[in-house]
Amino acid sequence: MNIKIGKSILKGNIKVISSKSDAHRLLIGAALADKPTKIFLEGWSNDIEATKNCLETLGCKVIRDNDGIQITPLWDEQVDDIVLDCVESGSTLRFLLPIVAALGKHAILEGQGRLPERPIDVLLEELRAHGSLVKENNLPLVMAGQIRGGVYTLPGNISSQFITGLLFALPLLKEDSEIRLTTKLESRGYVDMTLDTLKLFQIEIEEKDWGFQIKGGQTYRSPLEVSAEGDWSGAAFWVVAGGIGGDITCTGLRKNSCQGDKEIVDLMEQFGAKVNWKENEVTVCGSSLKGITIDAAQIPDLVPALCTAAALAEGTTIIYNAGRLRMKESDRLKAMAEGLQKLGVRVTEQQESIRIEGGSVHPEGEVILDSYDDHRIVMSLAIAAAALGVEAVIERAEAVSKSYPTFFAEFTRLGGAADVF
């Protein structure tokens, strides 16, 4: 599916979808719990579908209805020799790997798109060291054997998803365990979300200076009903759209959320946007933006949206500590640099950073933009093209279904010009 974007200003109110990150965690907690759990969700996505399908394959009974999903755990059934298709969801793969190993399941884990290229060898080495019999380092993986408790050692700057997977899995083991981090923890907000979910399911984790201490033999206790919180990652695109010349109110958000991507509001204020908070909603209005310097270590998923903000800000914006973006659904630094350059923006791409000069030398005629099959690239370039007033076609725009299938419906409802062809 290709989308043609025209010049437009986005204005209005939007109720944000449920957090994909929160939904993954709640689904897994519910699957490991002692009783059924009802999870209320706003919206759906391909990544959540991947986790739901894998949990069903592992033996859970899953019923989806208009307001959410009901999970009945069936982990005591003898389900073995299974195939878990994680599709393109890195969270699904990295969260379930340690859980499958903790349960001692014989399983094949598969993936599609760029997922087989994304690194998991550090996590696999730790699982092998504690009893897993997996041989491969890349998908498809054949899992066998059961891990045991002990000391798990990981760098904190590769993927917070490795740590989340272990935090879910290790309480299931008989023995006590430790997760020792050899470097500073990056994407801290995502680990905090995991700790909040574990606390909700009455799992005790003790944080130490060196990492986390986990008691073995714990039982996940269902909260019976729970609502996934609003998605700051998805809201970031609307916050940016409001700040670069629109006027948008996002509702259904927690100001005190553990989601690291709530930082988008403070960053847009630093750019110069006007922000007004009310209970569970934030309004962002366009203003004269100025370039800023941003450390992306804790907020990698915000970088594509921040690149769009930088393109509309006067002066220079530098985003650094962003090297991990090269191993996401696409090489996001390359994808955003290429896309913005085609829109007439001056961009310098380096290995760990990106430098953007605000403003555009409007290209002649229609511009063709490659989405690289990446949902965040599609959404960022759509908002950039509309605000810069450059007629552009985004190829393979259906990639938004990974996290935000209704994005373009909301985009047009807010006044955006978008035609499918």
**What positions carry a catalytic annotation?**
301
d(CA 62, CA 244): 42
* Largest pairwise CA distance in the chain: 66
Sheet holding 141-143, edge to edge: 82-85, 107-110, 141-143
Give the strand pairing for 11-15 and 37-40.
Answer: unpaired
CA distance 105 to 63: 24
| CA–CA separation, 310 and 270 (whole Å) | 11
For the chain, what percentages of helix, strand and coil (3-state, to nearest 5) are there?
A: 35, 25, 40
Neighbours of 117 (CB within 10 A): 10
212 to 78, 150, 151, 202: CA distances (angstroms): 31, 12, 10, 16
Output the CA–CA distances (angstroms, integers) from residue 343 to 139, 336, 391, in the order listed: 36, 10, 9
